[in-house]
Chains A and B, each alone.
Chain A
Amino acid sequence: MEISRRETLALGLGAAVLTMLPFRVNAAVEDSISAFTGGADIADGGVTLTAPEIAENGNTVPIEVSAPGAVAIAVFAAGNPTPGVVTFNFGPLAASQSASTRIRLAGTQDVIAVAKMADGSFAKASATVKVTIGGCGG
């Protein structure tokens, strides 16, 4: 088969589209967050997200979220094929608005916790968790 210059350009365009993929992933997490917030503004602060800086095992990463006064906290993994991880709902009798769980991360990425407050406002916190092959130590 002979590839013409025009076809080569088209191939190049395909490659460019492929390199755009990371942005699509970001868009996916934005879509997921919007679905939770209904597109409302999200303030920084008021949410504590505890996650390891480097995951010991990307398949089971312990995280903890806490947001005093929240009615719900949703957790998103920005780099996972499906960014939505979990939503914790807190009833009026909940003693504290905190929860911990373990999540699976496909690679190094940001984990984002978004809290819905009792007054309908939203707040978030995020942390970068590195997933590495490791192997050397002092």
Chain B
Amino acid sequence: MISRRDFLQVSMAASALVGASGFGNWARLAAQQSLTQGQLLEFETFGNVSLIHITDIHAQLKPIYFREPSVNIGVGANKGVVPHVTGADFRRLYGIADGSPSHYALTSDDFAALAKAYGRVGGLDRVATVINAIRADRPDAILLDGGDTWHGSYTCLKTQGQDMVNVMNALRPDAMTFHWEFTLGSDRVAELVEQLPFAALGQNIFDAEWDEPAELFPPYQMFERGGTKIAVIGQAFPYMPIANPGWMFPEYAFGIRDEHMAQMVEEVRAAGAECVVVLSHNGFDVDKKMASVVPGIDVILSGHTHDALPEPVLVGETIIVASGSNGKFVSRVDLDIRDGRMMGYRTKLIPIFSDVIAPDPEVAALIDEQRAPYLDEMSEVIGQTDSLLYRRGNFNGTWDDLICDALLSEREAEIALSPGVRWGPSLIPGQDITREDIFGVTSMTYGQAYRTEMTGEFLKVVLEDVADNIFNPDPYYQQGGDMVRTGGLGYRIDVSKPQGERISNMTLLKTGEPIDASRNYVVAGWASVNEGTEGPQIWDVVESHIRKLGTVTVQENTNVDVVGV
């Protein structure tokens, strides 16, 4: 019998065998500028079970640019630990050479220059090639989709997710869980889920009326692979009706429900599962806390917060694997399951360099088929950009600055608010901006750009409320997005303070005057979770603004003063 001490030694030795999860290999090759598909896929098959994890694709069927964040602040116990490490600190932590492909894939500095050298990332036809290669090593590998799949592009919005269902089905996943999918509305979600030839999981998806597990979404699925039984438990995004419009899916309730998760773990263990995998859309810090609270989980495949980590994070005996977003990465997780437990693991975060990995011809054709009816309208060039346009970061991105400028000028507002979502591909300087690019950072089923009046006091409440959703020291009270983006409004934020005390020095940028708590301000924004929001669609507002500008230049944003880090 193997003791807990032995287990840790075995698993640690296993990861050390391939030079820190196989990650060091391509980091070193990278320095020689000789990256090949074979090297990206190189993996010494380990144990008896393979998992393949992809998450938060946000409907990016084609290769894109995607800049990782330069600012990702952790608070409480997560201060200064991954994934809250960026840039040069991140490279030092993982031994990544400056200028290497892994520098480009995993960090943000010199992004525009490296993007020109290394090209686009992602593309589900390339992802298909990687999945096929893993299946060639291990035919019964389990492919798991962490959700945020049926949202985020022109074609996905127009087909209400059908394009993604068609292409993902061709990749033959074994299970998935959910978040933005629900913004298609509960009827459409049910219609699509019923067509899926694989399990739609969510132990925390409940019937809102009866507070019982929802029938359409089983909590888990058992798999018999590699001579053992593996249970995959789904965990959908816990805060959907709060972060997204609950009125679009009133039949469902969510929440973290870790007691129910613990019950499910016991149930699958009793049913003979030797390995328990949670396919999660909790976000990384929430997953870490859940791993420390719920006993008996071997692997958490973590999604939602879009973090890409070259090595799993170990919490007790649970490994947490974070596989990035937008089709940029696929994780391979090989497990040695014996004698009723996980004896070791070997993992690799595979970056999908689209110029290095050959597209799978069948899936490439299928993708083009989904896009063909919309190709003319979405390929139309609206303008050009002189600046790097990106979104990720806790406080602002240049895409959001552009969107806020569009709201201020097109909607004649004093202040603009743009949601702190983490999806949306980047554009590099010199690129055309097409209609598809605009939809890549704006498309959603509740994109109306409202124009309203808010008092200075209410604006502060909004900022404080959103800040607490990101910087509450207890991860269970976080929703996993970034700070609401502001246009025309500057402020100071002390991330170390409690709710109600973080925001100060609110300034109306147009006049330089402090925000007056009792005065009304004209505010334009989009993505309101309230039913009946009126206004033009945000993509039309942004398109009209970019057309007028012709060429977009976005200055560095210095309007948010961050302290207490």
Q: Judge if B423 is at the interface, Cβ distance under 8 Å.
A: yes
- Nearest B-chain residue to A60, judged by Cβ: B208
Q: Considering the chains assembled together, what is the distance between the CA atoms of A133 and B479 in angstroms?
A: 12
Q: Distance in Å from the Cβ of A67 to the closest Cβ of chain B?
A: 15
B181 to chain A, nearest CB (A): 12
| Residue A1 interfacial (CB < 8 Å) | no
Q: Which residues of A contact B479 (CB under 8 A)?
A: 54, 134, 136-138
Decide yes or no whether A82 CB sits under 8 A from chain B.
no
Check B469–A138 contact: CB distance below 8 A. Answer: no
Nearest Cβ distance between residue A2 and chain B, in whole angstroms? 24
Known A53-B255, A56-B255; contact A136-B481, beta-carbon cutoff 8 A: yes
Interface size on B, residues (CB 8 A): 48
* Inter-chain contact B305/A138, CB cutoff 8 Å: yes
**A57 to B479 CA separation, bound complex (whole angstroms):** 15
Q: A100 contacts the other chain (Cβ, under 8 Å)?
A: yes
A50 at the binding interface (Cβ < 8 Å): yes
A65 → B minimal CB distance (Å): 13
Q: CA of A66 to CA of B461 in the docked complex: distance in angstroms?
A: 36
Contacts of B461 in A (CB 8 A): 133
Contact call B466/A54, Cβ cutoff below 8 A:
no
User: What is the CA–CA distance of A58 and B259 in the complex, to the nearest angstrom?
Assistant: 21
Contact between A100 and B469, CB atoms less than 8 A apart: no
A133 to B241 alpha-carbon distance, docked (Å): 11
Interface assignment of B414: CB less than 8 Å from any CB of chain A? no
Known: A135-B529, A137-B479. Is A56-B237 also a contact (CB below 8 A)? Answer: no
Task: Decide if A138 touches B477 in the complex (CB within 8 Å).
Answer: no
> Do the beta carbons of A50 and B259 come within 8 Å of each other?
yes
A54 and B242 within 8 A (CB): yes
B465:A132 contact, CB within 8 angstroms: yes
How many CB-defined contacts (below 8 Å) exist between A and B?
91
Q: Mark A42-64, 1 if CB is under 8 A from B, else 0.
A: 00000000101110110000100
Whole-angstrom CA separation of A134 from B465 in the bound complex: 7
Tell me, in angstroms, the Cα distance from A137 to B180 when the chains sit together.
Answer: 9
> Which of A133, A134, A137 has the most chain B CB atoms closer than 10 A to its own CB?
A137
Q: Which of B195-210 contact A (CB under 8 A)?
A: 208
Minimum CB–CB distance for B543 against chain A, Å: 23
Q: Is the CB of A138 within 8 A of B422?
A: yes
Q: Decide if A133 touches B423 in the complex (CB within 8 Å).
A: no
Residues A137 and B255 in contact in the complex (CB < 8 Å), given A54-B239, A100-B211, A132-B469: no
B304 interfacial contact with A, CB 8 Å = yes
Nearest A residue to B241 via CB reads A56
Q: Which residues of A contact B304 (CB under 8 A)?
A: 138
B97 at the interface (CB under 8 A from A): no
Q: Does B253 sit at the interface, judged by CB under 8 A?
A: yes
Q: State in angstroms the CA–CA spacing of A135 and B24 once bound together.
A: 40
A132 CB contacts on chain B under 8 angstroms: 242, 465, 468-469
Inter-chain contacts of A134 with B (CB < 8 A): 239, 242-243, 465, 469, 479, 529
Task: Name the residue of chain A whose CB is nearest to the CB of B256.
Answer: A53
**Would you call B132 an interface residue if the criterion is a C-beta within 8 Å of the partner chain's C-beta atoms?**
no
Contacting residue for A136 out of B240, B305, B420, CB 8 A: B420
Residues of B close to A133: CB separation below 8 A: 461-462, 465
Query: Within 8 Å CB of B480, what residues of A?
Result: 137-138
**Which residues of A lie under 8 Å from residue B472 when comparing CB positions?**
130
Which A residues touch B255, using CB under 8 A?
52-54, 56
Within 8 A of A (CB), among B447-493: 461-462, 465-466, 468-469, 472, 474, 476-477, 479-482, 484
Q: Which residue of A lies closest to B500 (CB)?
A: A108
Nearest Cβ distance between residue B97 and chain A, in whole angstroms? 30
Contact B481 A138 (CB under 8 A): yes
B421 in contact (CB, < 8 A): yes
Which residues of the other chain, A, contact B353 by a CB distance below 8 angstroms? none
Does the CB pair A138–B306 fall under 8 Å?
A: yes
Chain A residues lying within 8 Å of B477, measured Cβ to Cβ, are 53-54, 128, 130
Q: Smallest CB–CB gap between B235 and chain A, Å?
A: 14
Q: Kindly report which residue of chain A lies nearest to residue B529, judged by CB atoms.
A: A135
A133 — nearest CB in chain B belongs to which residue?
B465
| Residue B419 is within 8 A (CB to CB) of chain A in the complex | yes
Given contacts A133-B465, A134-B529, contact A53 B419 (CB under 8 A): no
Nearest chain B CB to A27 CB, angstrom units = 21
Chain B residues closer than 8 Å to A137, beta-carbon distance: 179-180, 237, 239-240, 243-244, 419, 421, 479-481
Q: Mark A101-138, 1 if CB is under 8 A from B, else 0.
A: 00000001000000000000000000010101111111
Report which of B421, B468, B527 forms a contact with A138, defined as CB distance below 8 A.
B421
Check if A138 sits within 8 Å of B466, measured CB to CB: no
Interface membership of B162, Cβ < 8 A: no
B201-230 contacts to A, CB under 8 A, are 208, 211
Q: A53-B476, A56-B255 are known; give 5 further A-B pairs, CB within 8 A.
A: A57-B246, A134-B243, A137-B179, A137-B421, A137-B479
Q: What are 19 A-B pairs at a CB distance below 8 A?
A: A52-B256, A54-B238, A54-B479, A56-B239, A56-B253, A57-B241, A100-B211, A130-B472, A133-B461, A134-B479, A134-B529, A135-B243, A136-B419, A137-B179, A137-B243, A138-B179, A138-B243, A138-B305, A138-B306
